């Protein structure tokens, strides 16, 4: 009798679907127990709130930094284009487009940064 039960159980456990389902049940049960015993999350919520307010304080400085970097890129790019034009190089249009694109990106990023962090000036 014991041999019959053992043979039936061996046949059932050889199925990959059964093995996967029992593994999923075991992991799910363990996760549910761990979540119930984790306790209070108020300390983490408070810490995230504090970090959010601290990051929001730096947003105006980063916006000004983006504008300053865009200005430097524009000046250096203008000098670079001037030198290329004097040397009669072929890729002047490409350089102009890259510099203008970089400046537009920096200005757009500076405009979008406060919106991303929810900071109103």
Per-residue pLDDT of the chain (121 residues; tens, 9 = 90+): 667 666 666 666 666 777 777 767 767 776 656 555 556 667 778 888 888 888 888 889 999 999 999 999 999 999 999 999 999 999 999 999 999 999 999 999 999 989 888 877 5
Query: What pLDDT does residue 66 have?
Result: 94
Task: Give the global pTM.
Answer: 0.59
Could you tell me the residue ranges of all domains in the chain?
1-39, 52-121
Identify the CA nearest to 117 among candidates 61, 69, 68, 70: 61
Q: 88: phi > 0 → left, psi -120 to 50 → alpha, else beta; which?
A: left
Identify the CA nearest to 121 among candidates 79, 66, 61: 61
Cα separation, 74 vs 80, in Å, equals 10
Query: What pLDDT does residue 62 have?
Result: 92
């Amino acid at each position: 009798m014991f041999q019959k039960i053992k043979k039936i159980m061996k046949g059932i456990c050889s199925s990959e679907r059964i093995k996967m389902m029992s593994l999923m049940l075991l992991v799910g049960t363990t996760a549910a127990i761990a979540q119930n015993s984790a306790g209070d999350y108020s300390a983490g919520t408070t810490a995230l709130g504090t970090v959010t307010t601290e990051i929001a304080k730096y947003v105006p400085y980063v916006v000004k930094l983006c504008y300053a970097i865009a200005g430097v890129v524009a000046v250096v790019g203008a000098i670079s284009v001037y030198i290329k034009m004097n040397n009669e190089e072929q890729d002047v249009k490409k350089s102009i487009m890259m510099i203008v694109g970089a400046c537009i990106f920096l200005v757009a990023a500076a405009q979008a940064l406060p919106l991303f962090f929810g900071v109103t000036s």
